[in-house]
Amino acid sequence: MTKRIIPCMDVDNRKVVKGKKFLDVQEVADPLTLAKKYVADGADELVFYDISASTKNRGMFLDLIEEIAKEVPIPFIVGGGIRTIEDVEKIFSLGGNKVSINSAALTNPSLIQQVAERFGSDKVMLSMDVRKTGPGKWTVFAKGGMEETAIDAIEWAIKGEQLGAGELVVNSIDEDGVKDGYDIELNKAMAEAVNIPIVASGGAGKLEHFAEVLTEGKADAALAASVFHFEEVNIGELKAYLQQQNLLVGQKG
């Protein structure tokens, strides 16, 4: 199986931002400039995540999404603020290739099913923000990681697959921006519970962390933000390193 490296641009106020454990969010860069850089560096896919559309209850930055989609020849994933099938249609009409649905799936799980039925499972990712709440237990959090839902993350992953999600983005709030490594136990538990690809998110700090989550953690793709934004890890160098570790990395499909 080909593994993928996916940079994620969290966007707020039309700028790429980054925080730690979803807090202390600071502006980092212009999204279009960064998107072009990541494509040039060899990213397999790219995520545009509007982090405040859901919490501030506003629409997405559609013009910005369209602008980036025109410049990005690799699969372009859009998330944040997606509430309806019409929102999804709009993103695809602007050039997005996949949608990542998080908060809306919690309030309206049938949205995953609607998107999968209309556009295909490969177009819809279920994204979840989770915290460890006990031994071998993780709970899903809503509203940008601020609201505990009491939903068991593994059970939610299984339900997401049943509803038609083609991939799962598993974001560990505990590890977000900490750079101590991905939550291996969490990603492995997810991968063993479902039959769809797992995209690990939260915790990348160095090359070894990527190799670890793609092998021991059984993830199919590794998503990261700050290590790429601050050029602590270069995507080209990372892919060369992973190939040395006998990991096949590159674009899927």
The residues carrying an active-site annotation are 10, 129
Residues 117 and 98: their CA atoms lie apart, in Å, by 14
Q: Say how many C-beta atoms besides its own lie within 10 A of residue 58's C-beta.
A: 11
Q: Which residue has the tokens 């709440």?
A: 133
- Which residues are 154's β-sheet partners? none
Q: For the chain, what is the radius of gyration of the CA atoms?
A: 16
Residues 17 and 24: their CA atoms lie apart, in Å, by 10
Q: What is the DSSP letter of 183?
A: -
Q: Say how many C-beta atoms besides its own lie within 10 A of residue 7's C-beta.
A: 23
Residues 100 and 78: their CA atoms lie apart, in Å, by 6
Alpha helices, DSSP H only, in the chain?
31-41, 62-71, 85-93, 103-107, 110-119, 153-163, 184-193, 207-215, 226-229, 235-244
Q: Say how many C-beta atoms besides its own lie within 10 A of residue 93's C-beta.
A: 11
Residues 162 and 164: their CA atoms lie apart, in Å, by 5
Nearest to 120 by CA among 65, 167, 69, 60: 167
Q: Is 247 helix (H, G, I), strand (E, B) or coil?
A: coil
- Which residues are 143's β-sheet partners? none
